[in-house]
């Protein structure tokens, strides 16, 4: 306290020096009056700046508004520097928080911060979309009141976060979410929400693929095993033996066809981009016509409709295989005396190769899944026709590699149309 009084001592001594002669030579009361007046001025001076300090403390500013005289100048200067330093620290902390929030918003995964009571403290926009939250209104709300799947509430309450929770929506086509929980200080938790829809779909496709391959190979293997057991245990005449062997050969060829199509599909999926060979479409369509006539054996009318214009750039082998599959399917699934039309139209805007048939047609509900591996409308009819269930999958992948699209339209009882549409960049000579 004495440190603050030291600057005032000279003024007090000056008042005493002035007031003592007045009190001694004039009148004592005069000396005391002058001395008291000096003290009052000193007190008023300090009270003035104390009042300014009080007003400033109610609404602090960083500008040098607290200018003063005497000891108050130093006090105000120190307060100003301290306030400036504190505001600088706050601004830096706010900037750091803003950076963290921006980083959280930039994440492709959803982030939700929960307190010890499962109340939402923060979530990024990704989490808002994934979980249906709105941070502006949902902050402070228990998350179990907003994410209503029962398994989610059970998962949070159980406290075992060694494995993520997989949330599968009730509706088809919605997101599949994997929720990881990371506990940290003061019983808070961080929810990391990953969209695993694509991964889940691929995993499901893998399981279905393995199951379908197993099923497709099990049938011919069962037939082969049965015939072999019969031939080993029962004596049969030569004619019956030949019939059994023919059926066994047929099933072996079927398995070989399945394996060959699987290898073809695998090679297409893993192959580099197709070469830019010049594919003569007139020659290719003529070959497809001859193949169709050979497969039909005179049972169908094969018609070719082309203006002879335009060629394709791509892999000769892949295009022949893909378009040949479309033609072979039309022959297999069109009843005798039906008509199969092969058409080719090329323009500066692109080109289209189409196969039209007068077969039994396909119900509209099956069309979106026709290019799936081993998907069949009628398994028995497909096997009787010699199909492996992979032909259209091979066609789809081959066309995709040529930036082409497969368009399928069909009317039950009238026929089907399979059209491969190629972009202008793949067409030449138009």
pLDDT digits (tens, 9 = 90+) for 233-250: 777 778 888 888 888 887
Strand partners, 416: 357, 410
* Distance in angstroms (rounded) separating the CA atoms of residues 319 and 16: 115
Q: What is the pLDDT of residues 167-191, one digit of tens each?
A: 887 655 578 899 999 998 888 999 9
Instruction: Tell me the pLDDT of the chain averaged across its residues.
Output: 80
Structure confidence at residue 5 (pLDDT): 47
Q: 335 or 107: which carries more pLDDT confidence?
A: 335
- What DSSP character marks residue 119? B
* Distance in angstroms (rounded) separating the CA atoms of residues 412 and 416: 8
Tokens of 417: 């149309």
- What DSSP character marks residue 418? E
Structure confidence at residue 259 (pLDDT): 80
Q: What percent of the chain has a predicted confidence (pLDDT) above 90?
A: 18
Q: CATH 3.30.565.10 occupies which residues in the chain?
A: 277-428
* Distance in angstroms (rounded) separating the CA atoms of residues 129 and 108: 11
Q: CATH 1.10.287.130 occupies which residues in the chain?
A: 202-270
With beta carbons less than 8 A apart as the criterion, state whether 322 and 395 touch. Answer: yes
May I ask the CATH architecture of the domain 107-195?
2-Layer Sandwich (3.30)
Structure confidence at residue 430 (pLDDT): 72
Confidence of residue 352 (pLDDT cuts 50, 70, 90): very high
Structure confidence at residue 98 (pLDDT): 79
Identify the CA nearest to 285 among candidates 339, 357, 351, 353: 353
May I ask the CATH architecture of the domain 202-270?
Orthogonal Bundle (1.10)
Identify the CA nearest to 326 among candidates 259, 214, 420: 420
Structure confidence at residue 1 (pLDDT): 43
Q: Which of 38-42, 372-376, 381-385, 395-399 has the lowest mean pLDDT?
A: 381-385
Confidence of residue 3 (pLDDT cuts 50, 70, 90): very low
Q: What is the pLDDT of residues 5-15, one digit of tens each?
A: 445 556 556 55
Structure confidence at residue 6 (pLDDT): 44
Fold entry, domain 277-428: Heat Shock Protein 90 (3.30.565)
Structure confidence at residue 379 (pLDDT): 54
Identify the CA nearest to 331 among candidates 364, 304, 298, 363: 298
pLDDT at 262 over 50: yes
Instruction: Please indicate, yes or no, whether the overall pTM of this predicted structure exceeds 0.85.
Output: no
With beta carbons less than 8 A apart as the criterion, state whether 5 and 46 touch. Answer: no
Confidence of residue 257 (pLDDT cuts 50, 70, 90): confident
pLDDT at 112 over 60: yes
If you average pLDDT over each of 29-43, 72-86, 297-311, which comes out highest? 297-311
Structure confidence at residue 9 (pLDDT): 56
Confidence of residue 270 (pLDDT cuts 50, 70, 90): low
Structure confidence at residue 13 (pLDDT): 61
Structure confidence at residue 290 (pLDDT): 93
pLDDT at 124 over 60: yes
Structure confidence at residue 244 (pLDDT): 80
* Distance in angstroms (rounded) separating the CA atoms of residues 93 and 328: 70
Q: 131 or 10: which carries more pLDDT confidence?
A: 131
Q: CATH 3.30.450.20 occupies which residues in the chain?
A: 107-195
Q: What angle do CA 293, 297, 301 make, to 5 degrees?
A: 55
Confidence of residue 16 (pLDDT cuts 50, 70, 90): low
pLDDT at 280 over 50: yes
């Amino acid at each position: 306290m004495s440190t603050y009084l030291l600057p005032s001592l000279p003024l007090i001594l000056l008042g005493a020096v002035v007031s003592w002669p007045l009190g001694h030579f004039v009148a004592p009361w005069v000396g005391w009056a002058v001395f008291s007046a000096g003290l009052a001025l000193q007190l008023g001076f300090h009270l003035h700046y104390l009042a300014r300090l009080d007003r400033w403390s109610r609404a602090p500013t960083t500008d040098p508004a607290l200018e003063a005289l005497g000891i108050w100048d130093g006090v105000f200067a120190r307060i100003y520097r301290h306030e400036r330093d504190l505001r600088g620290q706050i601004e830096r902390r706010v900037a750091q928080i803003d950076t963290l929030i921006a980083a959280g918003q930039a994440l492709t995964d959803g982030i939700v911060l929960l307190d010890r009571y499962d109340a939402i403290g923060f979530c990024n926009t990704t989490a808002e979309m994934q979980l249906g939250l709105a941070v502006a209104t949902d902050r402070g709300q228990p998350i179990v009141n907003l994410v209503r799947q029962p398994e989610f509430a059970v998962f949070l309450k159980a406290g075992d976060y060694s494995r993520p929770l997989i949330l599968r929506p009730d509706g088809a086509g919605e997101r599949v979410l994997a929720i990881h929980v990371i506990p940290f200080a003061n019983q808070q938790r961080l929810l990391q929400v990953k969209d695993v829809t694509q991964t889940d779909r691929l995993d499901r496709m893998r399981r279905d693929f393995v199951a379908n391959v197993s099923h497709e190979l099990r049938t011919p293997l069962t037939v082969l095993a049965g015939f072999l057991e019969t031939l080993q245990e029962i004596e049969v005449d030569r004619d019956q033996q030949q019939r059994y062997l023919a059926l066994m050969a047929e099933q072996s060829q079927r398995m070989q066809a399945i394996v060959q199509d699987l290898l073809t599909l695998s090679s297409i999926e893993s192959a580099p981009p197709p070469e830019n060979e010049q594919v003569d479409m007139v020659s290719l369509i003529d070959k497809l016509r001859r193949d169709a006539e050979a497969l039909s054996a005179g049972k169908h009318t094969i018609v070719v409709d082309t203006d002879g214009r335009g060629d394709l750039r791509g892999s000769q082998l892949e295009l022949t295989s893909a378009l040949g599959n479309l033609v072979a399917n039309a022959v297999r699934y069109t009843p005798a005396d039906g008509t199969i039309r092969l058409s080719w139209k090329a323009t500066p805007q692109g080109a289209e190769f189409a196969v039209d048939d007068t077969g039994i047609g396909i119900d509209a509900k099956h069309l979106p899944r026709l290019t799936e591996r081993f998907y069949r409308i009628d398994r028995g009819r497909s096997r009787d026709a010699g199909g492996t269930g992979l032909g259209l999958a091979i066609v789809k992948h081959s066309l995709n590699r040529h930036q082409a699209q497969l368009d399928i339209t069909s009317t039950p009882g009238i026929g089907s149309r399979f059209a491969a549409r190629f972009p202008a960049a793949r067409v030449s000579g138009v």
